[in-house]
Amino acid sequence: MRRLLAVALLAGAADSAPAQVIDARPRKFSDQWIFEGSGFAGFPTGDFRKDEKIGGGLNLSVALQPFRRQPLALRMDLGGMIYDGLENDEDQEVCDFFGNNCQNETVFYDNRHHYMSFVQAGPEFFATDGKVRPYAFALGGVTFFNSTAAYGPTGTGQSNTRSLFTSQNVSSTYGVGLRFVTKNYGREGGFDIGVRFMRNAKARYLTDKGVYRRADGSYDVSARQGAANVLMIHIGYNGGPFVNWDERRPRP
C-alpha cells in the first residue's frame, strides 16, 4: 500500500512540474567567419620548371559565409613560397672569457633568397554536413616575386639584406580538397588536405642562376620572363563556421 501511495505522489509531482525548455544559443555574425592555416609543397610547371623543381611555403585563408548554413563562402588567401636561394654563411664558435658557454655565431653573411607571395580572393563552394566534406574554389589576384641578398661581415652595413629584384603580375588559382571535421558541436573544425593550381601566365622572376656578384659587392641580375605556374599540395587546419545544435540536420 505504501509503495502504491509513493508512486501516485511521484506521478502527481511530475505532472505538476513545468516543462524545461533549452534555449538555443543566439546566432552571431561572427559565427559565419572561417579561418584556415596550411603549409604546402609547390611544384613549378611549364617554363618555371626549367629553372626550379620544388618550393615550400605557408598559406592563410579567411572566408565569410554570407548566408548561414549555405555552401558558399567568399574567401581571401595570403601566402608565400621560397622557390630558390643560396645559403653560404660562415659560422664561428664564440666562447666567454673563461672558454665556457661556447656557441656558434654567424661572422660573415653570404646568402640569397627568392620568394613568391600572393594575395587572392574569390568564391568557395563546400559541403556543410558530414565528417568528410569536399570543397572547391576559384581565386584571382596578384602574385609578387622578390629576391634579396646579404654579403659581408657581421655588424657592417654590407651584411644588411638588400633587394635584388621585385615584380608583380595578375594571377589565378583553382583548387579542390577534403576537410575532415572532428567536432560535432560549435565551430566545425578539422584537418584539410587539398590540391591547387596557381597560374602566373605572364611573370617576371629571378632565380639564383641569374645573379652575379661583382668584386665590389654589387650585383648584376638577369630576370626570366614567362609562365611561372605552380602546382601546390597543402595540409592544414580549418576552423569552419559555428553551428548551433538546433541548426544541425539529422544524420541518416
The answer to whether residues 2 and 190 touch, using CB atoms and an 8 Å cutoff, is: no
Mean pLDDT of 158-171: 85
Mean pLDDT of 160-180: 92
Return the percentage of the chain with pLDDT > 90, whole number: 41
Query: What span, in angstroms and rounded, lies between the C-alpha atoms of 252 and 250?
Result: 6
Give this prediction's pTM: 0.78
Judged against a pLDDT cut of 80, whether residue 22 lies above it is answered with: no
Please state the three-class secondary structure of 191-221 as a single string: EEEEEEEEECCCEEECCHHHEEECCCCCEEE
Judged against a pLDDT cut of 60, whether residue 169 lies above it is answered with: yes
Query: What span, in angstroms and rounded, lies between the C-alpha atoms of 193 and 187?
Result: 19
Q: Which three cell numbers stand for residue 215?
A: 668584386
* Structure confidence at residue 7 as a pLDDT band (50, 70, 90): very low
CA dihedral sign, ordered 40, 109, 209, 114: positive
Query: What span, in angstroms and rounded, lies between the C-alpha atoms of 114 and 25?
Result: 49
Which of 113, 114, 105 lies closest to 155 in space, CA to CA?
A: 105
- Bridge partners of 217? none
Name all domains of the chain by residue range, CATH numbers in brackets.
Answer: 31-94+114-230 (2.40.160.20)
pLDDT digits (tens, 9 = 90+) for 181-238: 876 566 788 899 999 999 999 999 988 888 888 877 778 888 889 999 999 999 999 9
